[in-house]
Structure 1
């Protein structure tokens, strides 16, 4: 099996999105990948249990990708070995009326994981520099004081928004949140195949929406804006990882391995020591139970 190296997927310099891989051959079949994923997932769950007891770090996992990139199934498969108390997932869709009465980051801030927990953002704050660039008219719903028409949405507006996102991520990273950002990089041909499967399989019809085809027409625009976002916001404290997403089992394994290989380097994540008095009396506590 091909060895996974975190640095091979990490975006640490300027990229051209057309040069990024959408498929990778790990040298093994689906069943072997599923077995390997289960092992890594179990190891990740052990780390999370320790993190829960330690209470000093949180993990924020951000997932972005085009429609049908496999976000939901990746979350399901990577984290199926986790204790549910230690993980919470949020799927960010169209902002609610309440959300639109706050700044665009508000709903993401209130969903951040507590220390000791894993938080997953299925679609993220990056929708605000992706979807809104493809469809800038959506910004008018935010009712911002300095945006009275689309003429006010200029390069300076987007520069400011990217700075705000970078500052947000730097702030949470400096306060104990370990940030991972995964771009599920799907090819246009594979998206077509997956949309057709949704239409051809009655049990999957509910997943299809005509809006999917409208958004597909904007494919090139989305690719341009993803490239810009990756280049502007992949930082050491909050890196982006390009995850080839045409092969779902491989993508799931790569994500899990990146999480595990990165987190295991945090040697300061460990179970807290018992108070000296309790530790000294462990044998006494055992005897009390055994004598019942």
Structure 2
């Protein structure tokens, strides 16, 4: 399999078109091979998480965006299995609260950023404000932004300002030690339909089904356009997007796991090294314990 970082990564919006990325593209990889590799990734992930935590200098923010039933929850569960909860934080963002609307649109996401030494996972994120809010611009009215009183006020300039705010936000985080990688789990409309039917027919999955999911399918093309524009407008070398084919859950989990581990390796976190004088003290402590 070609390097997934190079194959699915987007570091510039220039000429980016979502139609050029397939929803089912495992290449020559077989499910059995991917599952075996995922186990290896989990071992490496645990090691690098420990290094990151001990170093206490950098942090990693993983953003997962997708249409409903694309497999975000499953990717988190399978990829992050075995990771020390002390060094990992997962936030799932729902509809903003009245308190959230008392602040700017990035406020609640800034509060959820990972501390130094930790991995943060955002299941949905600040991108909802240029995705669902772009498809349903009436939601923006709840923010009560000066000068924007009607839906028609949300023009091209408004959206470009939003993308610019996101770019500046992510650039600021990068400069201060937080590496950001953003995943779009790219599922087809046909596969989403199959998964919705599965949720309806399986008593153990009924709780996952929401009538609103069906309503949103009517806006599929608008969502694809919103994703394409958001990715093209915010992909940078420092904060790249990865468009992951998600029709096969096992491959999506493999690709997400592979990219997270490779990103951590590139960050090169290291266990702290004690100064020589501290090492000498350790020797004396060892001798003291051994004499007991």
Look up the SS of the partner of 2:46 in the other structure. helix
**Aligned position for 1:50:** 51
**Aligned position for 2:236:** 235
**Aligned position for 2:275:** 275
The TM-score, its normalising length taken from structure 2, stands at 0.95
**Aligned position for 2:182:** 181
Q: Is the contact between residue 64 and residue 182 of structure 1 (CA under 8 Å) also seen in structure 2?
A: yes
Structure 1 residues 209-242: Cα deviation after superposition (integer angstroms, max 9, x where no partner) = 1101000110000001100111111011111011
Q: Quick check: 27-36 or 254-263, which moved more? A: 27-36
Q: Which runs of 5+ in 1 are unaligned?
A: none
Look up the SS of the partner of 1:281 in the other structure. helix
Q: Is the contact between residue 91 and residue 122 of structure 1 (CA under 8 Å) also seen in structure 2?
A: yes
**Aligned position for 1:10:** 9
Structure 1 residues 140-192: Cα deviation after superposition (integer angstroms, max 9, x where no partner) = 11111221111211111111111101110010011100010001000111001
Aligned length: 290
> 1:19 deviation in Å?
1.7
Look up the SS of the partner of 1:181 in the other structure. strand
> 1:207 deviation in Å?
0.6
Distance 1:70 1:237 in 2: 25
**Aligned position for 2:289:** 289
Correspondence list, 1:54-133, <5 A = 54-133=55-134
> 1:28 deviation in Å?
4.5
Structure 1 residues 92-149: Cα deviation after superposition (integer angstroms, max 9, x where no partner) = 1100111011111000011111110001110010100010111111111111122111
Q: RMSD across aligned C-alpha pairs, in angstroms?
A: 1.4
> 1:270 deviation in Å?
1.0
Distance 1:155 1:266 in 2: 36
Q: Which runs of 5+ in 2 are unaligned?
A: none
Q: Is the contact between residue 26 and residue 250 of structure 1 (CA under 8 Å) also seen in structure 2?
A: no
**Aligned position for 1:141:** 142
> 1:26 deviation in Å?
4.8
Distance 1:5 1:202 in 2: 36
Distance 2:151 2:26 in 1: 45
**Aligned position for 2:218:** 217
Q: Is the contact between residue 62 and residue 180 of structure 2 (CA under 8 Å) also seen in structure 1?
A: yes
The TM-score, its normalising length taken from structure 1, stands at 0.95
